[in-house]
Structure 1
Amino acid sequence: MSSLFDLTIQVKPEHIDVLGHVNNVVYVQWMQDVASAHIEKLGVGLAHYLEMKHAMVAVEHQVQYRKAAMLEDEIILRTWLYDINALYSFRQYAFFNAKDKSLLFTGNTKWACIEIATGRPKRMSPTFIQAYQPIATDVDPYDLSSIVSI
């Protein structure tokens, strides 16, 4: 079973758009960043993909912007796996302002397993299936009570 995974980042000038807040495409990049960090922690990161000759690739994103993040804000990027089958894993995201714990963004991604050499769909290996198990149903991924505000 996997767990919640948090990565804290600080909003930098290059994340800001002409409206003075984090640009929408930056959130999608953060989805990729926190997912990559999570799979590394699970022991099935990019180097493992190359060894196994198959990888997980994003095939669908859904995003919802709730509140703007501003320059120098500390952001908690949270992700977790919530479903899996032979070909796909499903990951959710919730990004929070670390100071006031307000929810800034939610999203989810459908990831497909592919053969690296051909780019064609492939059934997930037992290694992937074991690592990408969903979080327990009694875990509330939106509960930040264990995180100390800055």
Structure 2
Amino acid sequence: MTDVFDLALKIEPQHIDILGHVNNVMYVQWMQDVASAHIEKIGLGLKEYLKLKHAMVAVEHHMQYRKAAFEGEDIILRTWLDDINALYSFRQYAFYRPKDRTILFLANTKWACVEIATGRPKRMSPSFTQAYQPLKSDVNPFDFEKYHTDII
């Protein structure tokens, strides 16, 4: 079982677009960044993918931009695993501003297991299914009070 995973970030000038807020493309990059950091923490990251000769690749994203974020603000990139089956894992994201608990962005990604050499779909090995466990149903991933204080 995995837990929610938080990554703190300060919004820098390079994150800002011509309208003065975070560029929407940055959110996709941050989804990748927080997912990669999370899998490294649970012990099945990119190095392990290469050893096992299969990996998880994004096949579908759904995103909702809710509020703008601005230069100099601290935000939290939160992710958790939502579901898993033999071929796919499903990851959720909630990016929020801790100072006012405002949700800035929500998303989810469907990840497929593939053989690295061929790119063909592959059933997940036990290494994957054991590491990539969904969040327990009694954990509220939107309880920002509970988790964010340790990382800011």
Output the TM-score relative to the length of structure 2.
0.96
Partner of 1:70 in structure 2?
Answer: 70
Partner of 1:129 in structure 2?
Answer: 129
Equivalent position amino acid for 1:57 in 2: V
CA distance in 2, matches of 1:96, 1:27: 12
Q: Is the 8 A contact 2:98 2:144 kept in 1?
A: no
Partner of 2:140 in structure 1?
Answer: 140
C-alpha RMSD of matched pairs (Å): 1.2
Partner of 1:33 in structure 2?
Answer: 33
CA distance in 1, matches of 2:23, 2:49: 30
SS at match of 1:104: strand
Partner of 1:12 in structure 2?
Answer: 12
CA distance in 2, matches of 1:11, 1:98: 13
Shift of 1:33: 0.2
Equivalent position amino acid for 1:58 in 2: A
Shift of 1:98: 2.1
Partner of 1:98 in structure 2?
Answer: 98
Equivalent position amino acid for 1:100 in 2: D
SS at match of 1:39: helix
Partner of 2:120 in structure 1?
Answer: 120
Shift of 1:148: 3.7
Partner of 1:83 in structure 2?
Answer: 83
Structure 1 unmatched runs, 5+: none
CA distance in 1, matches of 2:31, 2:98: 17
Equivalent position amino acid for 1:21 in 2: H
CA distance in 2, matches of 1:34, 1:67: 19
Partner of 1:52 in structure 2?
Answer: 52
Query: 1:89-138: per-residue Cα shift (whole Å, max 9, x none)?
Result: 00000001121111100000000000000000000000000111101001
Partner of 2:107 in structure 1?
Answer: 107
% same residue: 69
CA distance in 2, matches of 1:48, 1:128: 10
SS at match of 1:30: helix
List, as ranges, runs of 4+ consecutive aligned residues in structure 1 with deviation greater than 3 Å. 147-150
CA distance in 2, matches of 1:105, 1:145: 17
CA distance in 2, matches of 1:145, 1:113: 34
Aligned length: 150
SS at match of 1:25: helix
